[in-house]
Homo-oligomer: A and B are copies of this chain.
Amino acid sequence: MLPRRSVHALSAAGKHALICSPCAPLQPTLRRTRSSSMAGNDALARRGKVLTVDTMNANVKKVEYAVRGPIVQRAVQIEKELKEGVKKPFNEVIKANIGDAHAMGQQPITFFRQVLALCSYPELLDDNKFPEDAKNRARRILKACGGSSIGAYTASQGIDCVRIDVARYIERRDGGISCDPDNIYLTTGASDGIVTILKLLTAGEGRTRTGVMISIPQYPLYSAAIAELGAVQINYYLNEEKCWSLDISELQRSLDAARQYCNPRVLCIINPGNPTGQVQSRQCIEDVIRFAAKERLFLMADEVYQDNVYAEGCAFHSFKKVLFEMGPEFSSTVELASFHSTSKCYMGECGLRGGYMEVINMDPEVKAQLTKLVSVRLCPPVPGQTLMGLVTNSPQPGEPSYAQFITERTATLNDLAQKAKLTEEILNTVPGIRCNPVQGAMYSFPQITLPERAIKEAKAKGQVPDMFYCMKLLEETGICLVPGSGFGQKEGTYHFRMTILPPTDKLKIMLDKLKEFHQRFTQQYS
Contacts and interface: CB of A to CB of B under 8 A. Distances in A.
Interface size class, chain A: 35 or more
A10 interface: yes
A275 interface: no
A151 to B, nearest CB: 4
Interface in A187-216: 188-189, 191-192, 199-203
Given A1-B136, A38-B329, A352-B151, A56 B177 contact: no
A176 B49 contact: no
A180 B16 contact: yes
- With most chain B CB atoms within 10 A of its CB, the pick from A104, A150, A349 is A150
Interface stretch (A304-312, A357-365, A440-448, A492-500): A357-365
A168 B7 contact: yes
Interface string A40-54: 011011010111110
Contact of A201 (B57, B168, B333, B363): B57
A167 interface: yes
A2 B124 contact: no
Contacts of A61: 369
A89 to B, nearest CB: 23
A5 interface: yes
Contacts of A507: none
A150 B349 CA distance: 8
A321 to B, nearest CB: 8
Nearest to A181: B10
Interface in A450-503: none
Interface string A128-150: 01000000100000000111011
Contacts of A200: 51, 56-57, 60
B34 A328 contact: yes
Interface string A47-89: 1011111011110110111001100000010000000000000
Contacts of A127: 129
Given A8-B167, A102-B147, A324-B19, A188 B188 contact: yes
19 contacts: A8-B179, A14-B364, A19-B324, A45-B328, A47-B296, A50-B265, A50-B297, A56-B366, A58-B203, A101-B151, A102-B145, A102-B151, A103-B149, A120-B120, A150-B352, A221-B376, A352-B381, A353-B379, A381-B381
